[in-house]
Amino acid sequence: MDQPLISQSGKSAPDKIVVSLNESATYPRKQIMETTETTATLKNINTTPHLCRSKVKQTALDIASAIRPANKFRRVGMSFIERIEAKVRAAIREEVRIHPSRGKTLL
């Protein structure tokens, strides 16, 4: 009766438990680390390189309080800032397009 319980894989039951615990402990940590690294990388990507986001937010909130005093806006979403960034890029592109081809300086 002192013989260890042998499973179909040929390993004793305690060995099989240790292996399964080690596998379950190793793989989730690896996935969490990869997710954290990916998230950190995405946070470092500046999606609005032409804007100072804090100034855009403050200006938008100031204008909103002046134009719509009944609404109490307190936050500015990233989609709003990205739309402003797209409009700034389009304005720069248009200014460069209509500028005469003389000289080296955009005036």
Domain residue ranges in the chain:
1-45, 53-98
The pLDDT > 70 percentage for the chain reads: 59
d(CA 106, CA 86): 21
Q: Is the pLDDT of residue 67 over 90?
A: yes
pLDDT at 98 over 90: yes
61: left (phi over 0), alpha (psi -120 to 50) or beta: alpha
Neighbours of 64 (CB within 10 A): 15
pLDDT band at 87 (very low <50, low <70, confident <90, very high): very high
pLDDT band at 88 (very low <50, low <70, confident <90, very high): very high
Sequence letter at residue 7: S
- What is the predicted pLDDT for the residue at 10? 55
pLDDT score of 91 more than 80: yes
CA 30 vs CA 36, 75, 105: distances in Å: 10, 36, 52
Q: How far is CA 52 from CA 41, 56, 57, 58, in A?
A: 20, 6, 9, 10
